[in-house]
Chain A
Amino acid sequence: MTDTERAKLKDRIAVIAAWIVASLFFFPIFWMVLTSFKTELQAIAVPPLLVFEPTLENFSLIQERTDYTKYAWNSVVTSVGGTALALLIAIPSAYAMAFNPSRHTKDILMWMLSTKMLPAVGVLMPIYLISQKLGLLDTKFVLVVIYAMINLPIIMLILFNYFREIPKEILEASRMDGTSTYNEITQIVMPLAWGGIASTALLSIVLCWNEAFWAINLTASDAGTLAALVASFSSPEGLFWAKLSAVSTLACAPIVVFGWLCQKQLVQGLTFGAVK
């Protein structure tokens, strides 16, 4: 065998290995989706069924049994609401910091990031008791506020990085024409950084959607999100794997697609801008 042949063979083995590894990682997800189309009996069949007649029964049943749409709606409201609130606060701030940096700007951003390191369990008691006193337990409002706060530091940092890339000359030219600050943000900065803002929002929605700690501890049947609904399936009684799979598939599908779409921003956002 010549060297090129050997190199080619090695390459082919690497590609096959890559496919095998990827299939192993993806398998549990594939299995979950597959199980959601089985009947409960087929779901626990031994040996497991690969070929079967698919049913859509689970998807219609979960609505009756668990009021799926209510939880889904709660997830949508809390993750979109939390993200919107955070963006509303972050856009003007990040704009001011990016275009008028002072010697404190970096320290402020680093301090913001440090609030993200506060372990949730460390502040669970005060947040729980405050929400209880204010009658906010099991409301979407409390989750919206909390999700806005836990994502604000990341959003600030990514937006800051995006805004920094806008050439200052554009803003200076518009200022010469007497554009107000509000118009400057809405008509110049936001359109220019639109892609960045959209994908930052997407990242924030992904993180809120999957958040479980606060959802489990602060909500019950009224404001529970899908993450909390799925957690309620953990009781050992009854094997409702097919229905559980159907709920899970519906709960995860939009977010997995979002995740695929905003890989780049995810990397930036999750590493706080340190890996680009």
Chain B
Amino acid sequence: MNPTLVRWLQAPSIIVLFLWMIVPLSLTVYFSTIRYNLLYPERSGFVGLSNYEYFWTDPSFMPALLNTLILVGSVLAISVVLGLAISILIDRPFRGRGIVRVMLISPFFIMPTVNALIWKNMMMNPIYGLFAVVATAFGVEPIDWLTQLPLLSVIIIVSWQWTPFAILIFMTSLQSQDQEQKEAATLDGAGFWAQFWNLTLPHLARPISIVLLIQMIFHLSIFAEIYVTTGGGPGVQSTNLTYLIFTQALQGFDIGVASAGGVFAIILANIVAIFLIRAVGKTLTV
């Protein structure tokens, strides 16, 4: 094929993605250095880094950063550990395995807003929720999950959605594991844990790292689950960075400060992204 044609065919995808990246990105950086509040359009001008300073010194910033880290860390730990355990559990032929698989991965396809509302209403509601019903049946005082343990509630909700993702990936990956090797190991008297540490875990090392990185990217910007359940509260107890920026932008109308927060979020995501891109790049053959 002639090289000019090749270039023409490739151009649209490269150009639109370049625009999609560079235009908003440069505007965000630009907004972050000017005074720009929709409520006070008369105030404008270059303000240097003071939007950043304002964002960092905001009393909500540290709690939001901490919440983000706790949220990402716990969901990662829960989904990878549970995902490993469950995918190994079902990595054997048995009747109804197809149904079990479908049941296990289904939560991943549920809309985040639906997911959050199911949990908020039908599971965690302090009066009618199933958790409260079960607690009462055992004579325990039911707790108001979203008010008393807001961050933990969000962690549970997000984990329910993302553990199936880990299961899906690990399950697929386990199918390519060398079964003869495992049988040989069994004949040699290697127990479950020996096989797990020496065969299964090394086999799953790549999928695990990929799952960790992808989930990190997604979890750094969790929004819908907080938006429909706790609204970041009570106070800022379940506010993460994304939600904090959202409140500053669309509720505080302060584009400048929100943009400074946006730049911060971009930098944070990129630290993770570098590692992910490297891991993916290794598998791509051109």
Contact = CB atoms under 8 A, between A and B. Distances in A.
A18 B224 contact: no
Contact of B9 (A95, A274, A275): A95
B25 A210 contact: no
A197 interface: no
B238 to A, nearest CB: 14
Interface stretch (B54-62, B69-77, B120-128, B177-185): B120-128
A44 B130 CA distance: 10
Interface in A13-59: 14-15, 17-19, 21-23, 25-26, 28-29, 31-32, 35, 44-48
Given A31-B122, A267-B169, A244 B224 contact: no
Contacts of B236: none
A220 to B, nearest CB: 12
Given A25-B107, A112-B13, A260 B102 contact: yes
B121 A152 contact: no
Interface string B109-149: 11111111111111100011010010001000000000000
Given A31-B118, A230-B113, A217 B250 contact: yes
Contact of B242 (A17, A119, A209, A272): A119
Interface string A62-105: 00000000000000000000000000011011111101110001
How many B residues touch the partner, as a band? 35 or more
B246 A124 contact: yes
Interface in B206-231: 206-207, 210-211, 214, 217, 220-221, 223-224, 227-229
B273 A271 contact: no
A172 B65 CA distance: 56
A149 B1 contact: no
B168 interface: yes
A117 B217 contact: yes
B70 to A, nearest CB: 18
Contacts of B152: none
A96 B10 contact: yes
B187 interface: no
A274 to B, nearest CB: 5
Contact of A29 (B100, B110, B133): B110
A156 interface: yes
A124 B262 contact: yes
Given A22-B104, A118-B21, A244-B117, A125 B172 contact: no
A25 B255 CA distance: 41
Given A255-B109, A259-B105, A259-B109, A273 B94 contact: no
A48 B105 CA distance: 26
Contacts of B276: 117
Contacts of A223: none
B200 interface: no
Main secondary structure of the interface of B (DSSP, over half): helix
Contact of B122 (A35, A46, A216, A228): A35
Contacts of B242: 119, 121
A127 B24 CA distance: 6
Most buried by B among A25, A110, A121, A227: A121
B66 interface: no
A219 interface: no
Contacts of A141: none
B269 A119 contact: yes
A252 B210 CA distance: 27
Main secondary structure of the interface of A (DSSP, over half): helix
Interface string A107-123: 01110111101111111
A216 B251 CA distance: 14
A242 to B, nearest CB: 11
Contacts of A114: 273, 277
A96 B1 contact: yes
B90 interface: yes
A251 interface: yes
Contact of A28 (B160, B241, B272): B160
B266 to A, nearest CB: 4
Interface string B155-183: 00000100111001100110010000000
Contact of B13 (A106, A152, A274, A275): A152
A126 B250 CA distance: 12
A3 B168 CA distance: 32
Contact of A19 (B100, B120, B268): B100
A96 to B, nearest CB: 4
A117 B270 contact: yes
Contacts of B151: none
B120 A123 contact: no
B113 A115 contact: no
A193 interface: no
Most buried by B among A31, A95, A210: A210
Interface in B253-286: 255, 258-259, 261-263, 265-266, 268-270, 272-273, 276-277, 279-286
16 contacts: A22-B99, A47-B133, A92-B9, A94-B13, A109-B286, A115-B20, A117-B270, A118-B269, A124-B246, A212-B111, A213-B223, A216-B223, A263-B172, A270-B169, A272-B210, A275-B207
Given A115-B21, A124-B246, A241-B121, 5 more contacts: A26-B103, A122-B28, A126-B23, A212-B224, A255-B111
